[in-house]
Amino acid sequence: MSVSDDGGGGSDEKSADGWRAEEAVAGNRRALEALRELVAYPFLYAHESRLLGLKVMCSRLLPPSDSVIVCYTFGLIIQLAFFSGPEGCCSTAPLAPESPYSVHKAHVGEGEKFLREAFSEAYAQASQGKPAVIFIDELDAICPRRSDRRENESRIVGQLLTLMDGNKKSSKMLPHIVVVASTNRVDAIDPALRRAGRFDSEVDVAVPTVEERLQILKLYAKNLHLDEKVDLQTVAAFCNGYVGADLEALCREAAKLAYHRMLNISEGDKVLKLHMEDWESARSMVGPSITRGVTKEISTVSWDDIGGLKDLKKELQKAVEWPIKHAAAFSRLGIPPVRGVLLHGPPGCSKTTLAKAAAHASQASFFSLSGADLYSKYVGEGEALLRRTFQKARLASPSIIFFDEADAIAPKRTGPGGNSSGNATVGERLLSTLLTEMDGLELATGIIVLGATNRPNAIDAALLRPGRFDKVLYVPPPDVEGRYEILRIHTRKMKLGEDVDLWKIAECTELFTGADLEGLCREAGMAALREDISASSICNTHFQAARSSLNPSLTKAVVDEYSKAAINDPSSRKH
């Protein structure tokens, strides 16, 4: 428990290590303001707020909440501001944590005792007229949704509920106790705690904006020697989705790289200076932690890494890259951005690669989910992951959410009553969550949903309505020109013999997908090595050998099926 003697309000107070609150939590000014209004102002301006009937106390960030007003009006305990935000967003910075590790004790009943003691310490403090703050870190770990399987946690939730309700009853006597908790998984918390009268205010600690990132970088780079060419504004611009902790790690990594470089230079020149390339290399090592777990990799694929598909790439640039990069122009002219784009076509023809290239070109955070990620054996976990991904994408915007195998995530519904048992299947529940989340995007900016599927006709029609996947694009297998470009791309780093004619190879690889051609190039390289391990180039014979050992993954009939599906597309008429 941490107790703040002066209420932690006012804007000039210093934290324990001498920083002003703004400095200690650089960026996140909005969350700090909201916290001040909820937690500190009622302490500092108790008299004025009573006179004013408290309307002014309602946070600008939060809609006026009845329960908060009731608490204030009676001069009672404010039953808490409730931080939800990505890890590392400093939601725990101002106060000392009541962490899950201290509450989950080895012996039965010890966790509850720990909580009781924290509350009674706060009472003791408050009874002397000093405000007290009980801060619970990682509330989701201490008080997860109750279930029969986790008896210990259920008891701890019950204890906290009792303490908080008790808190309210005795509040007339003790006006100065606030319970504040932090979490990065709001939905995982037991719902009983989120009711009015308990945790009734919630403050989102968002991912820092570019300006806030700059402030944070300046803060951590304060004591570092920067070369004059280092432009922190540029570094901040490239760190979309990074939270405070990520930026701190980035500074550490950049300093480490500069240090290693210094070790390799002669004595006389030894000055530890961070160069721009140290920041760039550090960025490839420290990614934004918010995308961890839901994104596969930091996408570095560019449009030039995709052969052929010229028109399709242009179409995607217009639908995805422009609205993100030129958001201001779009809103100035009132052009509604595309919410979702569905790519369909045979496997191995670059649907995933196109989505990654779009994310890279627009410098958006890339979240990727596949059917396998969402089909969990526990009821409701897939939907929770889906909701969490949208929430993270909103926080890290601009973002692209990519659904691989979209037909598995949003399968056609069987009928009005769902399946024969009357219960919604996993697919139906995922679909309805996805529809709700996509409809919620209308209010968000900078988030585009991309989907890929080999079976567009298996996708529920509700998802193809305007405002959801409002653009449906067919990604065909490459034609001869496309194949030539794909071969060029995948042989870029290879040493090719003079006799290799990529155009000829392109001509004799009909029905090969991009993935097949990538495999062909690899196989030709292997053939050269198999022939002579010290080979210095890959020649035509190796490509011929590879060609005759590989078959295309498509057949004419299959391609016809796919293009027929494209014609039947309900939305292809529009584009």
Between residue 191 and residue 210, which ones bind ligand ADP under the rule CB under 6 A?
none
Q: Which is nearer to ligand ADP, 142 or 319 (CB)?
A: 319
User: How far is residue 55's CA from residue 73's CA, in Å, rounded to a whole number?
Assistant: 9
Q: Which is nearer to ligand ADP, 203 or 517 (CB)?
A: 517
Q: Which is nearer to ligand ADP, 208 or 308 (CB)?
A: 308
Task: Tell me which long-range contacts 224-228 makes (C-beta under 8 A, separation of at least 24).
Answer: 224/251, 224/254, 224/255, 224/274, 225/271, 225/272, 225/273, 225/274, 226/273, 226/274, 227/273, 227/274, 227/275, 227/276
Name the one range near ligand ADP by CB under 6 A: 10-18, 371-379, 385-393, 512-520.
Answer: 512-520
How near is the Cβ of 541 to ligand ADP at its closest, in Å? 24
How near is the Cβ of 413 to ligand ADP at its closest, in Å? 25
Q: Which is nearer to ligand ADP, 94 or 478 (CB)?
A: 478
Dihedral angle sign, alpha carbons of residues 388, 400, 515, 300:
negative
Q: Which is nearer to ligand ADP, 221 or 306 (CB)?
A: 306
Out of 435, 515, 558, 566, which residue is the one contacting ligand ADP (CB under 6 A)?
Answer: 515
How near is the Cβ of 347 to ligand ADP at its closest, in Å? 4
Q: Which is nearer to ligand ADP, 36 or 351 (CB)?
A: 351
- Residue 172 CA, chain-centre distance (Å), reads 43
Name the one range near ligand ADP by CB under 6 A: 47-55, 189-197, 385-393, 514-522.
Answer: 514-522
How near is the Cβ of 156 to ligand ADP at its closest, in Å? 45
What is the 3-class SS of 267-310, one letter each residue? HHHCCCCECHHHHHHHHHHCCCHHHCCCCCCCCCCCHHHCCCCH
How near is the Cβ of 454 to ligand ADP at its closest, in Å? 8
Continuous segment of H or E residues that includes residue 70: helix 66-73
How near is the Cβ of 451 to ligand ADP at its closest, in Å? 11
Give the per-residue contact string, 443-482, with ligand ADP (x = CB under 6 A; - = no): ---------x-------------------------x----
How near is the Cβ of 355 to ligand ADP at its closest, in Å? 8
Assess contact for 166 and 33: CB atoms under 8 A.
no
How near is the Cβ of 547 to ligand ADP at its closest, in Å? 17
Q: Which is nearer to ligand ADP, 85 or 348 (CB)?
A: 348
How near is the Cβ of 298 to ligand ADP at its closest, in Å? 16
DSSP state of 391: H
How near is the Cβ of 301 to ligand ADP at its closest, in Å? 8
User: How far is residue 473's CA from residue 44's CA, in Å, rounded to a whole number?
Assistant: 59
Q: Which is nearer to ligand ADP, 42 or 308 (CB)?
A: 308
Assess contact for 248 and 286: CB atoms under 8 A.
no
User: How far is residue 561's CA from residue 479's CA, in Å, rounded to a whole number?
Assistant: 17
Q: Which is nearer to ligand ADP, 287 or 451 (CB)?
A: 451
Does 509 bind ligand ADP (CB under 6 A)? Our answer is: no
How close are the terminal C-alpha atoms of the chain, in Å? 60
Name the one range near ligand ADP by CB under 6 A: 127-135, 271-279, 421-429, 513-521.
Answer: 513-521
> How many CB atoms are located within 10 Å of the residue 365 CB?
28
In Å, how far are 93, 111, 157 from 143, measured between CA atoms? 21, 11, 5
Between residue 268 and residue 327, which ones bind ligand ADP under the rule CB under 6 A?
306-309
Dihedral angle sign, alpha carbons of residues 281, 282, 283, 284:
positive
User: How far is residue 343's CA from residue 56's CA, in Å, rounded to a whole number?
Assistant: 50
Q: Parallel, antiparallel, or unpaired for β 469-474 and 365-369?
A: unpaired
Continuous segment of H or E residues that includes residue 536: none
How near is the Cβ of 481 to ligand ADP at its closest, in Å? 11
Q: Which is nearer to ligand ADP, 286 or 320 (CB)?
A: 320
Out of 34, 180, 489, 565, which residue is the one contacting ligand ADP (CB under 6 A)?
Answer: 489
> How many CB atoms are located within 10 Å of the residue 519 CB?
17
Give the per-residue contact string, 331-370, with ligand ADP (x = CB under 6 A; - = no): ----------------xxxxxxx-----------------
Q: Which is nearer to ligand ADP, 391 or 453 (CB)?
A: 453
User: How far is residue 397's CA from residue 400's CA, in Å, rounded to a whole number?
Assistant: 8
Q: Which residue is nearest to ligand ADP (CB)?
A: 514
**Number of residues forming the site for ligand ADP (CB under 6 A):** 18
Between residue 517 and residue 536, which ones bind ligand ADP under the rule CB under 6 A?
518
User: How far is residue 446's CA from residue 395's CA, in Å, rounded to a whole number?
Assistant: 10
Q: Which is nearer to ligand ADP, 255 or 554 (CB)?
A: 554
Task: Tell me which long-range contacts 32-35 makes (C-beta under 8 A, separation of at least 24).
Answer: 33/59, 33/60, 33/61, 34/59, 34/60, 34/61, 34/62, 34/81, 34/203, 35/81, 35/83, 35/94, 35/180, 35/203
User: How far is residue 509's CA from residue 326's CA, in Å, rounded to a whole number?
Assistant: 40
How near is the Cβ of 482 to ligand ADP at its closest, in Å? 6
- For helices 151-169 and 110-127, give the axis angle rounded to 10 degrees: 20
How near is the Cβ of 349 to ligand ADP at its closest, in Å? 5
Residues that bind ligand ADP (CB under 6 A): 306-309, 347-353, 452, 478, 486, 489, 514-515, 518
